Amino acid sequence: MTLAQEFPGTRVRVPGKINVFLEVGAAQDDGYHELATAFQAVSLIEDVVAMPSDDFTIEVVGSVDVSGVPQDDRNLAIRAARMLAAEAGYDGGVHLSIRKEVPVAGGMGGGSADAAGALVACDALWGIGSTQQQLHALAARLGADVPFALAGGTAIGMGRGDELSPALARGRFDWVLVPNDEGLSTPEVYRELDRRREAHRADIGPAPERPSVDPAVLQALRAGDPRMLAGAIRNDLQAATLSLRPDLAAVLEFGESAGALAGLVSGSGPTLAFLAEDPSHAEQLARELRRAGHDAITAYAPVPGARLV
Ligand code: C5P
């Protein structure tokens, strides 16, 4: 019997993400903000294994601190599995075993990646055979970033971030990621952005009526040119994140003075992302950051979305 025959489960690898551009519009009636973003999937990978079970259970380990991850029904991956089962009329369960590389509550879509992984792994385990479209619809119900974790690569996200269209990107972009022990709540960061826009009307422009991705970002991605991208990256959530976590500003400045082409808060943070020239520049930058006492992980983008291995 081969190893593949002995293994009764399915295994999916799913990437984390960086928003290389994020423009946030006004809050809608449902509380979500309309946005325009450019995602790239990065080489920090969540490994999701689904094993046959009568119940829905989960265990989470990882190379990052996973102490904040709920290991019960609150976990988005379990909610994903339950949603797929309900949708498909499947009456069994699953045991999910997740190994995380993406920093937890860090603004890099780790929880969303786990949910996307659970959808693909359970779909295969249970022999459901959902179409990409069906999986995308479930993903969008689970969270704004879940569809991108399915898709991977480089994409533009509109609406809540879940209306995806692929974007052309050449070559690879090298990043150094600096996670932080204290996670941030995404809703809290959006609320802080709204508060700042209201309280500092004279200094901060109003929410754009129709958010759009700066064409310079698309051009830089198409050209595969990190210097060009460095001049175009932007994150509207950054000021709100730094207002909640002023300690991060010094780290951003340190990374930039240590030679990063640019630094930005990843998504709602608190993970910081520094763009490097190439792999060796990323390694050098990571060493400098570590010497200054920061955790630093090198990664590259883009990589594929959720896929069975
Ligand atoms: O969809 P997800 O659960 O990842 O979103 C988490 C929270 O982030 C939402 O509840 C909302 O407060 C905020 N959010 C938003 N606008 C978006 C995406 C997320 O306000 N487009």
Per-position pLDDT tens, the chain of length 309: 566 568 899 999 999 999 999 999 999 999 999 999 999 999 999 999 999 999 999 999 999 999 999 999 999 999 999 999 999 999 999 999 999 999 998 999 999 999 999 999 999 999 999 999 999 999 999 999 999 999 999 999 999 999 999 999 999 999 999 999 898 999 999 999 999 999 988 788 888 999 999 999 999 999 999 999 999 999 999 999 999 999 999 999 999 999 999 999 999 999 999 999 999 999 999 999 999 999 999 999 999 999 999
CA of 114 to the centre of ligand 1 (A): 17
pLDDT, position 200: 85
- Evaluate: CB of 189 within 6 angstroms of ligand 1: no
- Evaluate: CB of 143 within 6 angstroms of ligand 1: yes
CB 95 within 8 A of CB 89: no
CA of 144 to the centre of ligand 1 (A): 6
- CA nearest ligand 1 atom 10, residue: 187
Mutate to test the pocket of ligand 1, among 186, 189, 194, 244 (most ligand atoms within 8 A of CB): 186
CB 27 within 8 A of CB 15: no
CA of 32 to the centre of ligand 1 (A): 6
- Evaluate: CB of 52 within 6 angstroms of ligand 1: no
Mutate to test the pocket of ligand 1, among 30, 32, 184 (most ligand atoms within 8 A of CB): 32
Average pLDDT along the chain: 96
CA of 269 to the centre of ligand 1 (A): 13
- Evaluate: CB of 241 within 6 angstroms of ligand 1: no
Q: Atom of ligand 1 at shortest distance to CA of 159? A: 21
In 10 A of CB 194, how many CB atoms? Answer: 15
* Phi, psi of 252, rounded to the nearest 5 degrees: -60, -45
Task: Tell me the catalytic residues.
Answer: 17, 145
Distances (CA, A) of 284 to 171, 179, 248, 288: 20, 17, 21, 6
CA of 227 to the centre of ligand 1 (A): 30
Q: Atom of ligand 1 at shortest distance to CA of 187? A: 12
pLDDT, position 236: 97
- CA nearest ligand 1 atom 7, residue: 187
Q: Atom of ligand 1 at shortest distance to CA of 191? A: 12
- Evaluate: CB of 111 within 6 angstroms of ligand 1: no
pLDDT, position 1: 54
Q: What is the 3-state secondary structure (H, E, C) of 183-251?
A: CCCHHHHHHHHHHHHHHCCCCCCCCCCCCCCCHHHHHHHHHCCHHHHHCCCEECCHHHHHHHCCHHHHH
pLDDT, position 5: 67
pLDDT in tens, 172-223: 999 999 999 898 999 999 999 999 999 988 788 888 999 999 999 999 999 9
- Evaluate: CB of 148 within 6 angstroms of ligand 1: no
The set of residues, in sequence order, having a beta carbon less than 8 Å from that of 103 and lying 6+ positions away, is: 16, 44, 64, 65, 110, 177, 179, 180, 271
Q: Shortest CA distance to 113 belongs to which of 55, 217, 176, 39?
A: 39
Using only the alpha carbons of the chain, give its radius of gyration: 19
Distances (CA, A) of 201 to 24, 194, 204: 16, 11, 5
- Evaluate: CB of 162 within 6 angstroms of ligand 1: no
CA of 286 to the centre of ligand 1 (A): 31
- Locate the DSSP E strands across the chain: 10-27, 33-53, 56-62, 93-100, 154-158, 163-166, 173-178, 234-235, 262-265, 272-276, 297-301, 307-308
- CA nearest ligand 1 atom 20, residue: 32
pLDDT, position 204: 81
Q: For the packed helices 279-291 and 247-257, what is the interaxial angle rounded to 10 degrees?
A: 130
Q: For the packed helices 76-88 and 132-142, what is the interaxial angle rounded to 10 degrees?
A: 130
Question: How far is Cα 69 from Cα 71, in angstroms, rounded to an integer?
Answer: 6
